[in-house]
């Protein structure tokens, strides 16, 4: 073997055993915050809301809990009283009932709900959460639809099993899916 090749190999072998370390006195990750608050936690008794929770959405002092399993699929928990205020959606095919799993998203004054097994897009007014909620059935989405993002009250982006993975939908032109 050529002497230059031996020298290069010996140098590389030596370098592989050398560990490079540079330590600074500050062992934090590098974030510095100008404002800090102390967090205080309180125990509350909420065993009845512990189910198979898929999502939690906060609206003012309410938590909307999207439960995967049970008689009620959407529960309203009041943070001020630490109690369940009401159950919004039941499991089933009747009025104010849907099939689980749900995907729930908030946009402006509407809570948009996609019942994935039956590809049914629905919404509830956020004001109706405090009263008698009325589920509005907006559209039977195509079976390729899996998840969605509301852009406006009439326009949505759906992800799913299309060639390009995403589709745009306009409720005003419900037969149009691009």
Instruction: Verify cis geometry, omega within 30 degrees of 0, for the bond prior to 175.
Output: no
Indicate whether 141 pLDDT > 70.
yes
User: Could you report the per-residue pLDDT of 50-73, keeping only the tens digit for each?
Assistant: 667 888 999 999 988 888 777 788
Q: Are 133 and 88 in contact (CB under 8 A)?
A: yes
Q: Would you say 112 and 126 are in contact if contact means Cβ atoms under 8 Å apart?
A: no
Pick the residue with more confidence: 21 or 62?
A: 62
Looking at per-residue confidence, does 48 or 155 come out higher?
A: 155
Q: What's the pLDDT score for residue 176?
A: 46
Of the listed ranges 19-28, 54-63, 72-81, the one predicted with least confidence: 19-28
pTM above 0.85, yes or no: no
49 or 61, which is more confident? 61
């Amino acid at each position: 073997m050529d002497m230059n090749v031996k020298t290069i190999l010996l140098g590389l072998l030596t370098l592989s055993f050398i560990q490079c370390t540079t330590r600074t006195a500050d062992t934090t990750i590098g974030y510095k915050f100008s404002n800090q608050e102390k967090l205080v936690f309180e125990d509350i008794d909420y065993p009845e809301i512990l189910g198979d929770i898929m999502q939690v959405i906060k609206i003012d002092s309410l938590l909307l809990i999207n439960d995967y399993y049970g008689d009620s699929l959407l529960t309203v928990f009041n943070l001020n009283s630490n109690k369940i205020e009401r159950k919004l959606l039941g499991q089933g095919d009747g009025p104010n009932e849907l099939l689980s799993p749900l995907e729930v998203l908030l946009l402006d004054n509407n809570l948009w709900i996609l019942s994935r097994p039956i590809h049914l897009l629905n919404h509830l007014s956020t004001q109706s959460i405090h009263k008698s909620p009325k589920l509005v059935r907006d559209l039977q989405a195509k079976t390729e639809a899996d998840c969605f993002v509301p852009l406006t009250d009439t326009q949505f982006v759906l992800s799913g099993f299309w060639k390009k993975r995403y589709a745009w939908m306009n409720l005003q032109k419900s037969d149009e899916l691009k």
